[in-house]
Amino acid sequence: MAPSALLPAIPPVLGWAVHARWLHGRLTTARRDPLTGLWTRDAFTQRARRLLRDPRAVVVLADVDHFKQINDAHGHAAGDVLLATVAARLAHGTGPGGIVGRLGGDEFAAVVIDRDGTMPDRLHTLARVLARPVDTAPDVHTTVSLGWVRAVDQPGEDLSTLLRRADEAMYAAKRSGRSGPRRARIGWLLESVAGRRPGRRGAG
């Protein structure tokens, strides 16, 4: 008798369970950025919208300063290490109740629940942490510009609008000489972004 005949048949239900687990793993992997391990833009958006139901939600935009110069001076491998390090520090800084995603290039977004009203202090601390050199490459370091907005400051606005307002605040921080995280003003009415700033990638 063939050895395979001695093995019990795998129940169809078990087979489907194994397949479902495998499929779930593949889908989860597809929603993660392969370099940083953060959620991709679409996956971040889906989860961030749920967090915005909490009135204490804060939306944060982060952009690595001088990223093109880092690549030029140290090589793209060093740039990748820097992005992965920034991602890990952002994820740690948001805490277990927040979510962080990589929107593309050197730009990241987060939604954090500000349970104790300490968000300004937390973001200033985070900015200092992000500016530290990479642990494995002391010569690789730069600042990270942060802009943020409280959802309650912009009543009725969706995630897309809140991200734009945090984005504008972040670029204001970048233009001001990187003086720290910049909060979007309450009820700030944005003008059209087109034509108001230089190209994002490589603008540093």
The catalytic residues are 106
Residue 175, classified by CB atoms within 10 Å of its CB into exposed (0-12), middle (13-18) or buried (19+), is exposed
Cα–Cα distance for residue pair 76/64, rounded to 1 Å = 14
CA separation for the pair 204, 10 (Å, rounded):
57
